[in-house]
Amino acid sequence: MVPVIGVLALQGDVREHLAALSACGARGVAVRRVSELDTVDGLVLPGGESTTMSRLLETFELLEPVRERIAGGMPAYGSCAGMILLARQVLDGRPDQRQLGGLDVVVRRNAFGRQVDSFETDLAITGITGEPVRAVFIRAPWVEETGPQVEVLARAAGHPVAVRQGPVLATSFHPELTGDGRVHALFCDMVRSPAAAA
């Protein structure tokens, strides 16, 4: 089966995620409206600016439909701002920022610092074989607290930066920027085998 995986196309690295999904054998589609969301087997929430994305989800009337699909078991993957959106709670966010609640985690926004503090490092990630993954952190969050069902897949500076809870995956970093498709391949496998992801 060729999974159809949407990329939330309101802001952020949409093109790069679509290319990475195509490389792992999925059919990537841009999602801007509910009718497009209804056609996908999984959803990528890209990096960008989390408060803006939260507002745009409401403006495009996608917040509740995305929340409902994730609560119903649809696989989802969030990178950077996408991780923030998927969290149960965000620290240092705006008071009006809305969460999707797909992950039982507390995330600290911009935890690694401002744009000038962006960095790259190599990470060993549980579930990904071979060489370490080159991880690009740009105004990145980290996970401050995880619930009992959350598996920590990787850490940087002592903090969780890749986590998974059943069919939901999130990274603080941007794998779509490096040309290494292994994080997307992991997510594609989760979409193809929902029973294995649970």
First-last CA distance in the chain: 19
Give me the catalytic one of 16, 17, 24, 176. 176
Evaluated on CA atoms 184, 150, 106, 115, the torsion sign reads negative
Residues ≥6 apart with Cβ < 8 Å to 40: 4, 5, 6, 29, 31, 74
Report the pLDDT value the prediction gives residue 196, as an integer from 0 to 100.
Answer: 43
What CATH number is associated with residue 103? 3.40.50.880
Which residues form the domain of 113? 4-197
Average pLDDT over residues 162-191: 95
**Cβ–Cβ < 8 Å for 83, 172:** yes
17 carries an active-site annotation: no
Give me the catalytic one of 80, 120, 151, 184. 80
24 carries an active-site annotation: no
Report the pLDDT value the prediction gives residue 190, as an integer from 0 to 100.
Answer: 95
Report the pLDDT value the prediction gives residue 194, as an integer from 0 to 100.
Answer: 61
61 carries an active-site annotation: no
pLDDT digits (tens, 9 = 90+) for 48-89: 888 889 999 999 999 999 999 999 999 999 999 999 999 999
User: What are the angstrom distances between the C-alpha of 110 and each of 48, 103, 104, 165?
Assistant: 12, 18, 19, 22
Residue 13 DSSP SS3: coil
Domains of the chain: total: 1
- What is the pTM for the complete model shown? 0.93
Give me the catalytic one of 17, 174, 184, 188. 174
